[in-house]
Structure 1
Amino acid sequence: MVVAVAESGSVTKAAAVLGIAQPALTAQLNRIDRALGGSVFVRDRNGARSTELGDLVLRHARVLLPAMATLTDDVQRLVNSRDGDPGALRVGVAGSGLGGLFVNRLHSALPGADVTTVLPRTGGDLSGALACGTIELAVTGMCSDAPPPASEAVTWTRVSTDPLFVLLHEGHEYADKPEVTLAELAEEQWLGVPDDSCLASCFVSACVRAGFTPSAVGEADWTTAVDQVRTGRAVALVEPGQPDPPGVRAVPLTGAPLRRTHYLGWRRDVRGLLDTELIEDAAFRAHRDAVARSPQYGLWLERHPNIG
């Protein structure tokens, strides 16, 4: 109630948000003031403004409310699991093409589960969301030289390490080659997947080792990258494991100089509430699904059994 009044700036508006009568909310605020020994709000015709005491209460309330919501969710999940109902699972996905396949596998492994996805911008955001209980599971992709986001509250499992391929338009001179070297693409304009790890610097380092410095490195999501590559204006670093869209080809880079590692994460204190072995298996199966839908990647893995 206190948070609702503070955020709306009005007892009347807060009552509407909370779905209770304004006199009932006013009476409850008066009881809160008496219990605390001081006024939480200054209330007048201009609305409600928090006092110094109110600011103190609000600081604690904004910690307690999410913690209470997490407690409620975890209790409900445990009760549901005992009844054979896996309940709701929120899956955060950042920087990984395995997210959709993983959710599909969860639906198969946990029939009746309410599985939804959220898209924090970075792997670090995912770690924070796991730690505070905003999500239950996370899938993230990192440059293979970077560890997953560190948190004492979160457990990460490595699902796979995959090479990055280069996406070329179908008329490119190297589009039909089994592999292409970075040096052969020295004059191209490059696009990369958005990434909060060291991928950009690792890419530049790989180019320097190949004998050139890339002229520009932009960022693009999958759809944007495909549209630009299809016109021949750029080439893009992409994860293998998905069919080539019309007009473009994903070609392996010789020696796999750039690799991406996919991690599955969960909050450590949910181990008794979730079947983590089943969830890990769903992630591994999702990666196998990605390989299966890309015959070219499957053939590449056969030629390079020590990678992946």
Structure 2
Amino acid sequence: MELELRHLRMVLAIAEAGSVTKAAASLGLAQPALTTQLQRIERILGGPLFTRDRRGVAPTPLGDLVLARARVLIPAVTGLHDEASELITAGGDARYRLGATNGPIVAGLVRRLGDAHPGGPVSIHSTWSENEVAQMTVAGRLDYAVVGACSTPPGVLPAGLTWRAISIDAVWVLLNDEHPLAGRDEVGLGELAGEAWITAPGDGCFLECFAAACAREGFAPRSPTSIDASSAFDMVAGGSAVALCQGLVRSAPGTVAVPLRGVPLRWRHLLGWDPDGPAAAHAAEVFGYAVEAYLEIVGQRPRYERWLATQPSLGVQKSVSLLRRPGRAGGRGDAMIA
């Protein structure tokens, strides 16, 4: 994991707010999620950035160095985005600036937009942070947000976007192909109570949803380790952990994805845009291509396609209303292995 601009924004927000709790509120994040992010940033940089006492937080010498650089870099990059946006807008063409988190449908969506608009401005900003994508869309630096979440509209994201569910899918579990449960048609979540868990990085509260699902099964899981998808496949293939994954997860040597009995967790692929901005005029087109890309991936996953046919409440929704998120609320986020 490398240091990114959004990490610097988090550090700066903590310093300006004087506490992690106040900074989390200003960023639209849950306080535990921001604390986890700060710990990851400190591991990247090799030391603590803040000291903590009853009065709040104060930067360490390392923190002062990071803050000094952040106060230079953030305005510079923000200015670059603004000037680029103005340049594209001046051209008068429809823009398709997509921001996307961990998910399997993005490549097909970009390909379809490129085919429909050859030579047109189609671009992709990829990150694992749902909040970053949503913030950039609200700010006009992106036209469309493609994110994963447990609910529609997604919680703990900035206000002002319209959200539409491309699909609703089940969360499965990725096992080593020699795991005792690997040959089952489905697995109860409680049967995995003693396992070490891994997930892909995310800044929402999917982990809280997972913990709640486990509590309903009568156990408290080990805290999952967030790790990139490639390493997650390696760990599962090596037999050292199991992974929460999307039902659309790709196959990989040494692993097998198995449905969780009763669908205790669901995952939505969502498209978001500013209903008052120029992107609204082309949202139906982008949504249609996103659905096509999803169905293409389903067709490439025969086991999931067969299983999905038995689940009428999942997959592409026959009647989906547009949901404009009026404000922040407790919510769902985070990511899984795609």
TM-score, structure 1 as length reference: 0.70
- Residue among 288, 291, 294 paired with 1:284: 291
Structure 1 residue runs of 5 or longer lacking an equivalent are 1-59, 81-85
State the AA in 2 paired with 1:161. I
2:138 maps to 1:131: yes
CA RMSD of aligned residues (A): 2.6
Q: In the TM superposition, what are the counterparts of 1:61-100 in structure 2 within 5 Å?
A: 67=82, 69-76=84-91, 79-80=92-93, 86=94, 89-100=96-107
CA drift of 1:125 comes to 1.0
How far does residue 177 in structure 1 lie from its aligned partner after superposition? 1.2
Q: How does 1:1-308 map to 2 (within 5 A)?
A: 67=82, 69-76=84-91, 79-80=92-93, 86=94, 89-144=96-151, 147=154, 149-152=157-160, 154-271=161-278, 274-308=281-315
SS of the residue corresponding to residue 104 of structure 2 reads coil
**3-state SS of 2:214 partner:** helix
Q: Post-superposition shift, 1:184?
A: 1.2
Q: Deviation above 6 Å: which 4+ runs of structure 1?
A: 60-65
CA distance in 1, matches of 2:224, 2:203: 15
Task: Tell me: CA distance 1:113–1:208, structure 2 relative to 1, closer, same or farther (3 Å).
Answer: same
Report the AA paired with residue 198 of structure 1. C
1:74 CA displacement: 2.0
Instruction: Say if 1:190 and 1:263 are closer, same or farther in 2 by CA, change over 3 A.
Output: same
CA contact (8 A) 1:141 1:263 kept: yes
Kept after mapping to 2: 8 A contact 1:156/1:266: yes
Q: Report deviation, 1:99.
A: 1.9
- Could you tell me how far apart the structure 1 residues matched to 2:249 and 2:204 are? 23
Decide which moves more: 126-135 or 174-183: 126-135
Q: Which runs of 5+ in 2 are unaligned?
A: 1-74, 316-338
- When residues 229 and 253 of structure 1 are mapped into structure 2, their CA distance, relative to the original with a 3 A threshold, is same
Query: In 1, are the aligned partners of 2:199 and 2:224 still within 8 Å (CA)?
Result: yes
**Deviation of 1:117 (Å):** 1.7
Contact in 1 for aligned 2:143/2:279 (Cα 8 Å): no
Aligned with 2:248: secondary structure? coil
Check conservation: 1:122, 1:195, Cα contact below 8 A. Answer: yes
What is the one-letter code of the residue matched to 2:182? A
Distance 1:188 1:61 in 2: 45
Distance change >3 Å, CA 70–CA 302, structure 1 → 2: same
Structure 1 position 65, deviation (Å): 7.6
Instruction: Give 1:71 shift.
Output: 3.6
Q: Which amino acid aligns with 1:303?
A: T
Distance 2:113 2:80 in 1: 29
Shift of 1:104: 2.2
1:62 CA displacement: 9.6
Deviates more, 1:93-102 or 1:229-238: 93-102
Report the count of equivalent residues.
240
Q: Tell me, in whole angstroms, the C-alpha distance in 2 between the residues paired with 1:176 and 1:256.
A: 18
User: Structure 1 counterpart of 2:269, which letter?
Assistant: H
Distance 1:97 1:220, change over 3 A: farther
Deviation, 1:232, is 0.5
Identity %: 33
Asked whether the 8 Å contact 2:153–2:163 carries over to 1, the reply is no
Residue 127 of structure 1 aligns to a residue whose secondary structure is: helix
Residue 137 of structure 1 and its aligned partner are, at CA, apart by 1.9
CA distance in 2, matches of 1:63, 1:215: 39
Q: CA deviation at 1:192?
A: 1.6
TM-score, structure 2 normalization: 0.64
Paired position in structure 2 for 1:33: none
Report if the CA contact (8 A) 1:67-1:132 is conserved. no
> What's the CA shift for 1:267?
2.9
